[in-house]
Structure 1
Amino acid sequence: MTDASLPAVRLQAVRLDRGRRAILSGLDLLVPGGSITAVLGPSGSGKSTLLSALTGELVPTSGCVELFGTPVPRNARALLTMRKSLGVLLQGNGLLTDLTVAENVALPLRTHTRLPEPVLQALVRMKLHAVGLLAAADAWPRELSGGMARRVALARALALDPPLMLYDEPLTGLDPIASGVITALIQRLNRSLGLTSIIVSHHVRETLPICDQVVVIANGRIVFAGVPAALESTSDPLLRQFLDGQPDGPIAFDAQVRTRDAA
């Protein structure tokens, strides 16, 4: 159980490095429980690095990352327990091609629980029904469209009823119709299941309408945190460059020259 009075996610003075290079620094962020927060930014800005810190894959160089009032653990066993409270939808879906749709959704339940088979199968049907794919239970991943595969991956991410969902570029590779289906589904599931959702994306126009809070990352830091309306009405040159897709501005498009670390 999670305490509804606590923020789902809290970052305090967080710095995230890859090797000896700082990717993000000075991160302070609160994600309220029950909300949908979009993390937007240019490609390579560090959005997926932030997700890695939330899942415990990347340990902050400094600062603290908390989920529901508890710091993300570093002990392997404690980290595994914590991850059961996270649902993660990956960019590539991660479906196993030698398992059917139903078997893919059942995989987390078989791995982390000892439920009787009838109960397990009932849960699988419930999850597939929630994403509108109960009729595809016996299909193979190769038989699915891109949008259907994304929904199966979502059903699998929801299998253990996590209170926090992390979406890593959920609209990548989808046509406008499939993108609309996925965003509407994220919003509906968040409300009906009482979830907290964090959506990492560079699809601004598709993502903003379903969000309660928007965070924009650029140039190694958080440059905006607020409601979608405030972002859309901003006159800040950096934010306008990103929102309007302008190649020239405060956000560098070309990669910076990297110097060798001192021996």
Structure 2
Amino acid sequence: MPITPAAVRVSALRLDRGSRTILRDIDLTVAQGSVTAILGPSGCGKSTLLSALTGELTPAAGSVEVLGRPVPQRKRALLELRKGIGVLLQGNGLLTDLTAAENVALPLRTHTDLPAEVIRHLVEMKLHAVGLRAAADLYPRELSGGMARRVALARALALDPPLMLYDEPLTGLDPIASGVIMSLIARLNASLGLTSLIVTHHVHETLPIADRAVVIANGGIVFDGTPAELETTGDPLVRQFLKGEPDGPIPFDAAPRTEAA
């Protein structure tokens, strides 16, 4: 059986913010074409891990490879790498004075020399892919929360990135909109041949579409396996997170981060 190449490979990673170590000893390999859920309680370092993948945060130790090469530190090389990474922010990041179509067109106008007519067709395709072609001329204030999230997704897909990073994609959405977004993520991942990492604490909404689940808590990875294995684990720390229990190995009050070595 051929080995699936890795879209992301992290080895012995330590991430610091100031004098505090947020994550340490992180080893993670994400296969191309997969959907990986990065789970954990709020403040555990999930979004910090994404910052290392995009090159926003330089590792204190260890290595990070994305799309087959180390994440560069030189600005020009880093910008080139980021063209292959789509990021859906939990706050959407839509520009309020631009229409939905103009928001989606922004990466194309910034990073390509395509003619305006080609960009218009590409924007129509991206909005159609998320079911919002009819909303092209609406402004963010005229969109529901779920619609705005889908426009942001269309914009993240504008440059056809092979890797998608979702940072809490269900924040602020009702159950129906959450279901629409998760179904859309799964469908786009399959139809476009993407690799997706979903950072979230919404366990039950995310696991049905995930190939793999990784749980981060107390500064490291405490579980790495299939969703089925996660559901049956007897690990008390993981069980506490899955059941939402206030008492257990994960403290309710954030524990002080360790001093960086």
TM-score band by shorter chain is: over 0.9
Matches within 5 A, 1:70-149: 70-149=69-148
Distance 1:209 1:73, change over 3 A: same
In 2: Cα distance, 1:236 partner to 1:126 partner: 45
Aligned positions, number: 258
TM-score (norm 1): 0.96
Q: One-letter code of the match for 1:90?
A: L
Per-residue CA deviations over 1:6-36 (Å, capped at 9, x if unaligned) read 2000000000000011100000011000000
Q: One-letter code of the match for 1:76?
A: K
Q: Which residue of 2 aligns with 1:221?
A: 220
In 1: Cα distance, 2:175 partner to 2:40 partner: 20
TM-align CA RMSD: 1.4
Per-residue CA deviations over 1:18-60 (Å, capped at 9, x if unaligned) read 0011100000011000000000000000000000000000000
In 1: Cα distance, 2:8 partner to 2:200 partner: 18
Q: One-letter code of the match for 2:123?
A: V
Aligned pair 1:16/2:15, yes or no?
Answer: yes
Aligned pair 1:151/2:147, yes or no?
Answer: no
Q: One-letter code of the match for 1:224?
A: F
In 2: Cα distance, 1:247 partner to 1:167 partner: 27
In 2: Cα distance, 1:260 partner to 1:139 partner: 48
Matches within 5 A, 1:1-263: 5-256=4-255
Provide runs of 4+ in structure 1 moved above 4 Å.
Answer: 257-261
In 2: Cα distance, 1:108 partner to 1:183 partner: 24
Gaps of 5+ in 2: none
In 1: Cα distance, 2:258 partner to 2:179 partner: 43
Percent identity reads 74
TM-score (norm 2): 0.97
8 Å contact kept, 2:20–2:258: no
Gaps of 5+ in 1: none
8 Å contact kept, 1:25–1:221: yes
8 Å contact kept, 2:21–2:259: no
SS at match of 2:249: coil
In 2: Cα distance, 1:104 partner to 1:216 partner: 33
8 Å contact kept, 1:6–1:68: no
